[in-house]
Amino acid sequence: MPTLINLTVANGETLVWGRRTYVVGIINVTPDSFSGDGLGSDIPAIVEQALRFEAEGADILDVGAESTRPGSAPVDANEELRRLIPALKAVAAQVRLPISVDTYKAQVARRALQAGAVIINDVWGLKADPALAQVAAETGAPLILMHNQATRQYRDLLPDIFASLGHSVDLAHRAGVSQENIVLDPGIGFGKTPDHNLEILRRLGEFRSLGYPLLVGTSRKSTIGLVLDLPVDQRVEGTAATVALAIAGGADMVRVHDVKQMVRVCRMSDAVIRGWRPAGWGR
**Is residue 54 in some structural domain?**
yes
**Is residue 281 in some structural domain?**
no
pTM of the predicted model as reported, rounded to 2 decimal places = 0.94
The overall average pLDDT reported for the chain is: 93
The range of the structural domain enclosing residue 52 comes to 10-273
Q: What local confidence, expressed as pLDDT, does residue 207 receive?
A: 98
pLDDT at 100 over 80: yes
Average pLDDT over residues 86-109: 97
pLDDT at 35 over 50: no
Where in the sequence numbering do the catalytic residues fall? 221, 255
pLDDT at 234 over 50: yes
Give the tens place of pLDDT for each residue, 177-209.
999 999 999 999 999 999 999 999 999 999 999
**Is residue 282 in some structural domain?**
no
Q: What local confidence, expressed as pLDDT, does residue 68 receive?
A: 75
**Is residue 278 in some structural domain?**
no
Q: Which of 150, 155, 265 is nearest to 216 (CA)?
A: 265
**Is residue 5 in some structural domain?**
no
**Is residue 267 in some structural domain?**
yes
**CATH number reported for the structural domain that contains residue 214 in this entry:** 3.20.20.20
pLDDT at 232 over 50: yes
Handedness of CA 100, 189, 160, 75 (dihedral sign): negative
**Is residue 52 in some structural domain?**
yes
Confidence at 34, pLDDT banded by 50, 70, 90: very low
Give the percent of the chain with pLDDT over 90. 86
HEC assignment per residue over the chain: CCCCCCCECHHHCECCCCCCCEEEEEEECCCCCCCCCCCCCCHHHHHHHHHHHHHHCCCEEEEECCCCCCCCCCCCHHHHHHHHHHHHHHHHHHCCCCEEEECCCHHHHHHHHHHCCCEEEECCCCCCCCHHHHHHHHHCCCEEEECCCCCCCCCCHHHHHHHHHHHHHHHHHHHCCCHHHEEEECCCCCCCCHHHHHHHHHCHHHHHHHCCCEEECCCCCHHHHHHHCCCHHHCHHHHHHHHHHHHHCCCCEEEECCHHHHHHHHHHHHHHHCCCCCCCCCC
| Overall number of domains in the chain | 1
**Is residue 192 in some structural domain?**
yes
